[in-house]
Structure 1
């Protein structure tokens, strides 16, 4: 009995490949889960899949309602938690290059969420300071983040959450 080819030869034109029979073992119905193959062991794939979920949640809870990007919200949270910081410290904390940080600071300053001030101790350097509008927006966005965090918490136990944070810090080299 002749066997059907598992794959159409790549030297055939696409129309011919599409018309060729496929072995039954490779056919899948829409409700059958795909095999991940080697992807099941690729850390970057799983991190990216988790990022899709968390980015969607961020956009729904903070991004769209407050007009903030993830990195902008992170920068504002750092300023809220630490007070004035130099651009260098912010860039290091957020893993941003100088030019990218400058664009980010300009965007937030244009929205009156932060300002640049000369350092009182070193006139050559600047500090980045939250404005009152920046403080209010960051606090409001923080309150909106609570349901987002609960949504994530529903998927993990407290121990799993702490372990995941520790492992992600390790992967990030921080």
Structure 2
């Protein structure tokens, strides 16, 4: 059996596709849509808070420590779903930068409380001012009611569920 002959203008070389890709087989998946939105919002975060040399997890830690007295590493790790080793590395970096300190708990000597330094307090104030409006452009396609609904639904999906069975 002979291979079909190619016309003079046909080639066996694949050509790069031009134009946008068909994503229809993915756009019905919540995870795909959430990931695409997350990528867009991470770019916004990097653009606005990146100049402060602040990562998203560091920002979250700073805000949680500023909002909660006597918070320890375990509580931070649980709130942010960060493993103890990864959280320890992140906190070490934040201590080196002078943003937080670990202080031995007076109630439980085995526990260390994470507290903001003066520099950490100033940084979290600056960062929260920026964060208050940094997502406006990315979310401008949504009405205020849609923004609130999206936030409510995302928080609902992210909540831990009781185990069954």
Give yes or no for the alignment of 1:48 onto 2:35: yes
Distance 1:37 1:152 in 2: 22
User: What does residue range 1-174 of structure 1 map to in structure 2 within 5 Å?
Assistant: 16=12, 18=14, 30=19, 34-63=21-50, 65-174=51-160
Count how many residue pairs are aligned between Structure 1 and Structure 2: 149
How large is the Cα RMSD of the aligned pairs?
1.9
- Unaligned residue ranges in structure 2 (runs of 5+): 1-10, 161-165
Distance 1:54 1:152 in 2: 7
- TM-score of the two chains, using structure 2 as the length reference: 0.82
Q: In the TM superposition, what is the alpha-carbon distance from 1:161 to its structure 2 partner?
A: 1.5
> Quick check: 1:116–1:127 contact (8 Å CA) kept in 2?
yes
**Residue equivalent to 1:10:** none
Q: In the TM superposition, what is the alpha-carbon distance from 1:81 to its structure 2 partner?
A: 1.2
- Unaligned residue ranges in structure 1 (runs of 5+): 1-14, 20-27
Greater relative contact order: 1 or 2 (C-alpha under 8 angstroms, separation 6 or more)?
2
User: Which structure features the higher share of helix residues?
Assistant: 1
Greater Cα shift, 37-46 or 103-112: 37-46
Distance 2:122 2:18 in 1: 51
> Quick check: 1:84–1:130 contact (8 Å CA) kept in 2?
no
Partner of 2:14: helix, strand, or coil? helix
Listed one character per residue, the Cα deviations across residues 140-163 of structure 1 (whole Å, up to 9, x for unaligned) are 111122331332442322221121
